Structure 1
Amino acid sequence: MSTLRFENIDKERLTPLMRQYVEEKESRPDCLIFMRLGDFYEVFFDDAVLTARELELKLTGRDCGLEERAPMCGVPHHAVDKYLNRLLERGYKIAICEQVEDPAEAKGLVAREVVRVLTPGTQLDPDTLDANKYSIICAVLEEDGAYGIAACDLSSGHFETSDLLGIQAESHLFDEIERFSPVEFVVNEKFAQNYRFMDYCARKQITVSRLPDSSFTSKKASEFGIKYDEKDLLWHRSSAGLIYYLQDTQGMVPTHFGEIKPYRFRDYMILDRAARVNLELTETLRDRKRRGSLLWAVDHCKTAMGSRNLRQWLEQPLLNISQIRRRQDAVAFLKDNFMIRRSLADALYGLYDMERLSGRIASFNVSPRDLVSLRDTLSRLPEFHELLEEIETDALKAIAGEIHALPELEDMLSRALLDDPPIQIMDGGLIRDGYDVTRDELANIALHGQEYILQLEAEERERTGIKNLKVGYNRVAGYYIEVLKSQSDKVPENYRRRQTLTNSERYLTPELKEYEEKILTANQKLKSLEYEIFISIRETVAQYLEKIQTTARALARLDALISLAEVAERHNYCRPRLTEESILKITQGRHPVVEQILGASDFVPNDIELNTNDQRIMLLTGPNMSGKSTYMRQVALICILAQCGGFVPADSAVIGICDQIFTRVGASDDVSGGQSTFMVEMSEVATILTQATPHSLLILDEIGRGTSTADGLSIAWAVVEYLADTTFIGARSMFATHFHELIELSQTQKGVFNAHVDVAKRGGEIVFLHQIKSGGTDQSYGIEVSRLAGVPVPVVDRAREIMAVLEKANKRERRQIRKDAQPMDGQLGLFAQAQSVKLADEIIERLADSDPNAMSPIEAYSLLLDLKQLVERQERMRQEED
């Protein structure tokens, strides 16, 4: 194999073509260069070695002017897209280097240049994009601990941008990154040094492009037409950096983003990564499938753009009650008016993805088939006006006003384009008869040329009286009139001899020569003219881009509202009442996903009531498999659905607005991140305790189970006390636990109350009733569950014996906790206070020298053990003083 690499190539010795390739590579060092050579796209040197390996192509060589041949591989131009898509899926950037002059007219080497750069975040091909979610490219600008973030889907024109400020700015930034789930990043140099970010991208194999700070400036923002105030901080600059990158890769400034305005991060419910994953909003936790997620349960959209819109609503629940009620009014109307809802759903069914079409229109990559589909969609839009014109609901009236039927555009497309044009615009067969006079003449010649020849032959036989005269054609002589030598005395004067054969003469007439030129060039001229006509049509369509986008987004909202109404009626959902008070009251609530999987008749509904007084923190006990996690998740999902503007699976619901939902559910090692189960658990708990507010909803499942029983119980106890103290958080909380000792906290902590999942024993067997009852339980039934799971009988019997011994000891320990524990006591003695300060300083110093993200499970455990010993030594000293 050749050892030639870009870094050791002597450019001066290269052939002109190879020098052209290397120079393009030097201008785009982060890209694979695909250069058009005739009917192939070729790749050379290092790029060829990598491309051949990734695409499993044969690696060959080409003379390049050096002693060694240049490594080379290539793909046919007509099949290049499928190969490019495979490389993009693996995170590579590709520069397409095209011939920019006609090879027949070139003097010397054909001129070539990079006309576009393909990246994972700039794909426009609908066959490679997930129709039901946005394909996001995200720009991040970091400056002085603050962040500007901009995210867009180039294929649809969807664009979001915001500032993230304050002490939790980085945490909220990563929450937004998780929401966007980008396929590509553009960042400034400072943020590129962020260890957490680079680790995130490395683990997810996301392409990252670094831009200099000069790409993220207010001046650039002004150049791109972004309107901002002088007091604005970073959002407009991050937006400028993103658009600069798109201009650089696409060769033009995108025109389909509309007016770029920032959103306020605090206008929406905050859902961090743990909440999104644990609540399975858009994909399941176990196998990352759509089926089994909340989105799967409520998505009955008829269009891809509707599904994307509904997904965004679920990922960004609203905080503004008036906005929520506006959506609720629309859902209520559609739910109660079946015939209108069904007619609108039928009208939506099969509509083309106009939102993604807008990206191809803006980049002038729209195909003839795209425009035929646009024409068909436009022809169906008047039906929406007829169905919506009498509706007084604000949201639906607004949608009706944003649907533009564009009859003049539909008429032009109907007159211009054939119903089934080819994919490639250079292949001809695009334009209808009657749209262009010159095109019709060429088409007539190309289509009816042979008929003309036969007609000419008949006419000449009759005119000359030569019965065996014939008109023929060969590639050397072209068209000719052939007459036997015996009949040559009858040849008219306008016949000019072209060729003499043994028995015949071949002639040419001015008329035949003229038609010969028309026939021989008609097909190529026809293709070229149809291409020019199509380009003109495409430019005309681009003038309607803003109205096409507005229409697409209105239809997407309508589709999402109909979907919410459909699921509400189909599964008997109720309209929740929203309030600013920190309360939560749900009667006969159900899990929206589990109910659909099991069937409504098999699902057991339950109530919940949380408030700011005596029922702020629910301590939920009960055995494994009894449904505690399902119950807590259903409460969170009901809140999310309510704040999306949807109805909820319950008989009735009063929802106090949740500004954030936090979850600590499940146990799993973050192996790729180097974190143990317990470290993941504690990290999530730390996030909750430092970021939750009185308006948050906390879902905490089995806190402390990732460590020893004593440590776990201590942590769980302390966490509940911290939550119960309204000077710290005072948030509505659901806390499931197997630490039955915590039941006692309802007697000492205001707002803490007990509930349990009911279980019945029938004939020695346990039956899970899945009903939530008031009061705690000290029965986990773990041994019975192990027996149901098939654990051998001797093991189960021995476990019962050991349990009896442990329960006696546990009762003594529980009495000691009730007697001695005085948690959260702020009245410390002077000595204890001084010692505590000293201890705190020592602990802070140890923690400051540690990086939890870089620690192995063993190192983390060792640190925790050291800190525990420090605390124990402090406690012994205090006892000795007493």
Structure 2
Amino acid sequence: MASNDTPMMKQYNRLKSENKGSVLFFRLGDFYEMFNQDAVEVSKMLNITLTRRGGVQMCGIPYHSAPNYIGRLLAQGQKIAICEQVEMPVGGKGIAKREVVEIITPGTIVDEKFLDSRSNNYIAAFGGDKKGLSFSYSDLSTGEFRTTSFSWDERSDKLRKELARVSPKELILQETLLEDDTLSQILKDCSFLLNRYPEWLFQLDTSIERLKQQFQVNSLKGFGFEESDISLLSPGVILDYISEKSKSYLPHLRNLEFYSDSDYLNLDESTQKNLEIIRNLQDSSKNYTLLDVLDYTKSPMGGRNLRRWLTHPLKDITEIDKRHKKVEFIYQSQTMLSTLRDRLSNILDIERLTSRVAMDKAHGKDLIAIKNSIKESLEIDLLLEEWSDFSLFKNTEDRCSLEGLYTVLENSIDDEPSILITEGKLIKNGYNSEVDRYRNMKSQSKTILDEYLEEEKRKTGINNLKIKYNKILGYFFEVSKSNISQVPESFIRRQSLVNGDRFTTEKLNDLEVEINNSHSKVVELEKALFLKIRDLVKDKITNLMALSVNIGELDTLQSFSYSATVHGYIKPELNKSGSLEIVNGRHPVVEAHLPQGEFISNDIKLNSTDRNFALITGPNMAGKSTYLRQVALIVLMAQTGSYVPADSAKISIVDRIFCRVGASDNLARGESTFLVEMNETANILRTATEESLVIMDEVGRGTSTNDGLSIAWAICEYILSNIKAKTLFATHYHELTELKEDNMFNLSMAVKETGKDILFLRKVIEGASNNSYGIHVAKLAGVPNEVIERANELLEHIITSSSKKELSEIPKSSNKKKLYATELFSSEEYILNAIKGIDFNSITPLEAINYVAKWQKELLSE
């Protein structure tokens, strides 16, 4: 710090040193200013002007538009320390007192302006000791708080799975864990904000005490924990972190839930990715995913709950059956479904609104949103009266409690309140007599003064008595000389004039003060009343949080019913027989993006005795991968509680789904395609059980033919003999059809041959394929005819050759024609690329016609 720094810069430097690692938004009048290195970095990230004053680099943003800039910085993984002017200097001398009132980080956001209403915003913590590892996470904006634990031997699979499923925006990490090569490899290419904390902060005893303090209990046994549970090591760190950043108490974090793999159908990182449940493989967006197809939710809570259910399918057949029955009840009453959807669309984000109330961040519009949402919830509950299995309220007392809160909010909060609690316009007329009096005084000051004047005229008998006003005396009575003798003793002389005297009274003085101060008094009173009302809402946090959970579940159930209606899904039959029978199953995502009726449906029949392993052969492009994924997705949907795309489906509960379909290089981890494939395969062989569903596609293709065939063969044998899981194994190694196992059977993709041409029928049939049709696929892809013809020649030689020597004697091609770039593509593809490259805004209609004529000529000349 330079010795010649101004007092303000000394203040800034002190606050910056206390908030290292955060961008300091330093309030200066109507702007937030940043200085020095913060200014340099922020100016680049926000593309705003960097200036210099007195040798200090600086940039600034207007206070009123700060949320937009804060959101952009949060999206880039930055932490922002908000520094406000909390006290102005007395007499205008000196500098304003400033304090950091909040630190906003990607994982501690509660302001709806920075949040996606349909997905959670998680912060996670990860720590451990020699006994095991603890992974916990929380969404501060909703109050969700969960923890789990796993052994060191499980660390690779479990951590990858949890990070993929939770997708935290921020992770608090015990930094000594990075000394473990496995964990370091997983975390080094993470996309979230990583906070490294020392080991001494991750202590089991300290975390337990922090949790007891938060929940105001003497023991955590009531939450289902023993005090030796390693899972408790990390959640206390989350509490400390978010308390420090938000600088507020967190009363809405009232429960810590333990979860484990045994509670849900297990989906590892690779399976979640390959099945494109929540994010697609192209751009990681929701488009073209299972979530995209099933998401007909109408409320934010429903949208978030649907995501949670899809990544946590159930294993308990009783619980799954309960969901299916509720979906069926709504599905069978389309009138009720329509009404439910209309009502649910009017319900706002009770969960996040309540969290803001709990943290004293809620404003008037938030309370109106809560009020209106309670009203809609009460109406929905009346619809559900005939449905004894489901209610939005735990009991009559719970319902009455929120009815009472609705009444308070309806009577008290203005229908269009101000957002700022320092501006007034929060409380309705008629709720508080004192507020009404000051409001009337402000709006009806002339009437009030006229009424008082008439009162004094009657008392004094001075008929020409007047109330006047000037800036020096304020309000005063003016009495003519002829009436001075009638002035009572209660009148206080202020000024004597030639034509009369000016007086005041204690009441007139009081009225003047009240009139002049009425606005500030109204604001003061409204703020005090608002805070009391907000505290009343805070007292109902438990009720409101329970309501939000029930709304989220109801919305998800109606979404399943609506998707079944829209897409023609059926209710699956769940059992524990070990069998899987799907008749005319369809891929839910592919079907949704094709014209109605165009998707080719297929069957599958597996059991745990003599038919648990299906070997699927056939050409690429014939639909094998789609078929594999559709079977996995139908099972996942069924165990989530959804209806499924099929004519019928009898599904035995599975404990895990493994989907090893497709692979690509993972350059960030230094892994080739083949290594990625083998890592995923190794995980399946280590952890799959007889109750698992295993989907494997083209295993072994990333190495030599002999190596790949040998690996694929050994994998099939191991699954058949040791694991015995229900398995769909697609391969281009036709030699695998020679495997002799009683519980294995062959399937293939039907192909129609017409002369030299083929047509992929997209239909799965019993029996092995005797041809991969690779050259036909190359032709369909637009490979030049010269190459196709040469490939057919070589295929004949290869088929008849019995040794490498014979292969080496194959004559070279006599075709010396050079292939130009345009010849590597079919004419159709070439023309499509040409169209993409034309700027139609810069050509004339005649030029466009000439282009079309040229392309027509090229197509006709083929």
TM-score, normalized by length of structure 1?
A: 0.83
Equivalent of 1:782 in 774, 782, 788: 774
Deviation at 1:265, TM superposition (A): 2.3
Structure 1 residue 625 and structure 2 residue 611: aligned? no
SS in 2 for 1:669: coil
Contact 1:330–1:396 at 8 Å: present in 2 too? Answer: no
Contact 2:411–2:428 at 8 Å: present in 1 too? Answer: yes
Deviation at 1:308, TM superposition (A): 0.9
Equivalent of 2:684 in 678, 682, 688: 688
Equivalent of 1:86 in 56, 72, 85: 72
For the structure 1 residues 57 and 325, does the alpha-carbon distance in structure 2 shift closer, same or farther, using more than 3 Å as the test?
same
2:737 is matched with 743
Equivalent of 1:554 in 550, 554, 578: 550
Deviation at 1:637, TM superposition (A): 0.4
Equivalent of 2:787 in 783, 792, 795: 795
Deviation at 1:767, TM superposition (A): 1.8
Deviation at 1:414, TM superposition (A): 0.8
For residues 668-690 of structure 1, the C-alpha deviation after alignment (integer angstroms, 9 at most, x for no partner) is: 22233332222222222222222
Equivalent of 1:378 in 374, 381, 397: 374
For the structure 1 residues 119 and 396, does the alpha-carbon distance in structure 2 shift closer, same or farther, using more than 3 Å as the test?
closer
Contact 1:402–1:551 at 8 Å: present in 2 too? Answer: no
CA distance in 1, matches of 2:700, 2:395: 50
TM-score, normalized by length of structure 2?
A: 0.84
CA distance in 1, matches of 2:394, 2:781: 56
- RMSD (CA atoms): 3.2
2:19 is matched with 28
Deviation at 1:579, TM superposition (A): 2.9
1:605-620 counterparts in 2 under 5 A?
605-620=601-616
Deviation at 1:245, TM superposition (A): 1.1
Read off the aligned partner of 1:99 and give its amino acid letter: Q
1:175-574 counterparts in 2 under 5 A?
175-194=161-180, 203-216=189-202, 217-225=204-212, 227-228=220-221, 229-230=225-226, 232-393=228-389, 406-449=402-445, 471=468, 509-510=504-505, 513-574=509-570
Deviation at 1:489, TM superposition (A): 7.6
CA distance in 2, matches of 1:401, 1:514: 48
2:745 is matched with 753
Deviation at 1:641, TM superposition (A): 0.8
SS in 1 for 2:115: coil
1:768 is matched with 760
SS in 1 for 2:112: coil
For the structure 1 residues 610 and 749, does the alpha-carbon distance in structure 2 shift closer, same or farther, using more than 3 Å as the test?
same
Contact 1:327–1:395 at 8 Å: present in 2 too? Answer: no
2:814 is matched with none
CA distance in 2, matches of 1:603, 1:369: 48
For residues 257-308 of structure 1, the C-alpha deviation after alignment (integer angstroms, 9 at most, x for no partner) is: 2221311222111212211111110122223332321111112111110111
For residues 438-470 of structure 1, the C-alpha deviation after alignment (integer angstroms, 9 at most, x for no partner) is: 211111122223555688899999997879x89
For residues 64-86 of structure 1, the C-alpha deviation after alignment (integer angstroms, 9 at most, x for no partner) is: xxxxx433333333332222222
Read off the aligned partner of 2:303 and give its amino acid letter: S
Read off the aligned partner of 2:567 and give its amino acid letter: H
CA distance in 2, matches of 1:720, 1:393: 46
For residues 319-347 of structure 1, the C-alpha deviation after alignment (integer angstroms, 9 at most, x for no partner) is: 11122112122122222233333333332
Structure 1 residue 645 and structure 2 residue 637: aligned? no
CA distance in 2, matches of 1:576, 1:117: 49
CA distance in 2, matches of 1:143, 1:675: 29
Read off the aligned partner of 2:717 and give its amino acid letter: E
Equivalent of 2:125 in 139, 157, 161: 139
Worse overlay, 214-223 or 713-722? 214-223
Contact 1:189–1:210 at 8 Å: present in 2 too? Answer: yes
Read off the aligned partner of 2:694 and give its amino acid letter: L
1:96 is matched with 82
Contact 1:186–1:211 at 8 Å: present in 2 too? Answer: yes
1:846 is matched with none
Contact 1:379–1:405 at 8 Å: present in 2 too? Answer: no
CA distance in 2, matches of 1:811, 1:359: 74
Deviation at 1:103, TM superposition (A): 3.8
Read off the aligned partner of 2:342 and give its amino acid letter: D
Structure 1 residue 46 and structure 2 residue 37: aligned? yes
Contact 1:146–1:169 at 8 Å: present in 2 too? Answer: no
SS in 1 for 2:284: coil
Deviation at 1:773, TM superposition (A): 0.4
SS in 1 for 2:156: helix
Worse overlay, 215-224 or 133-142? 215-224
Deviation at 1:616, TM superposition (A): 1.9
CA distance in 2, matches of 1:403, 1:198: 50
Contact 1:399–1:558 at 8 Å: present in 2 too? Answer: no
SS in 2 for 1:224: helix
1:844 is matched with none
Deviation at 1:123, TM superposition (A): 0.6
Deviation at 1:598, TM superposition (A): 1.6
SS in 1 for 2:258: coil
Contact 1:283–1:290 at 8 Å: present in 2 too? Answer: yes
Worse overlay, 427-436 or 220-229? 220-229
Deviation at 1:184, TM superposition (A): 0.3
For the structure 1 residues 719 and 808, does the alpha-carbon distance in structure 2 shift closer, same or farther, using more than 3 Å as the test?
farther
Deviation at 1:762, TM superposition (A): 3.5
1:57 is matched with 48
Read off the aligned partner of 1:218 and give its amino acid letter: D
Contact 1:384–1:400 at 8 Å: present in 2 too? Answer: no
Contact 2:582–2:648 at 8 Å: present in 1 too? Answer: yes
Deviation at 1:218, TM superposition (A): 2.5
Equivalent of 2:651 in 645, 651, 655: 655
For the structure 1 residues 199 and 718, does the alpha-carbon distance in structure 2 shift closer, same or farther, using more than 3 Å as the test?
closer
2:720 is matched with 724
Deviation at 1:653, TM superposition (A): 1.8
SS in 1 for 2:444: helix
Count of residues paired in the alignment:
788
Q: Which runs of 5+ in 1 are unaligned?
A: 1-8, 64-68, 814-882
Worse overlay, 622-631 or 590-599? 590-599
CA distance in 1, matches of 2:412, 2:19: 40
1:808 is matched with 800
CA distance in 2, matches of 1:525, 1:396: 41
Deviation at 1:48, TM superposition (A): 2.6
Contact 1:416–1:431 at 8 Å: present in 2 too? Answer: yes
SS in 1 for 2:386: coil
CA distance in 2, matches of 1:261, 1:603: 42
For residues 390-445 of structure 1, the C-alpha deviation after alignment (integer angstroms, 9 at most, x for no partner) is: 22337889799976761111111111111111222212111111111221111112
For the structure 1 residues 477 and 86, does the alpha-carbon distance in structure 2 shift closer, same or farther, using more than 3 Å as the test?
farther
1:827 is matched with none
CA distance in 1, matches of 2:600, 2:519: 71
- Percent identity at matched positions? 36
1:841 is matched with none
For the structure 1 residues 623 and 508, does the alpha-carbon distance in structure 2 shift closer, same or farther, using more than 3 Å as the test?
farther
Read off the aligned partner of 2:146 and give its amino acid letter: E
For the structure 1 residues 232 and 327, does the alpha-carbon distance in structure 2 shift closer, same or farther, using more than 3 Å as the test?
farther
Q: Which runs of 5+ in 2 are unaligned?
A: 806-862
For residues 159-179 of structure 1, the C-alpha deviation after alignment (integer angstroms, 9 at most, x for no partner) is: 211111262233212201110
Contact 2:298–2:341 at 8 Å: present in 1 too? Answer: yes
CA distance in 1, matches of 2:710, 2:694: 19
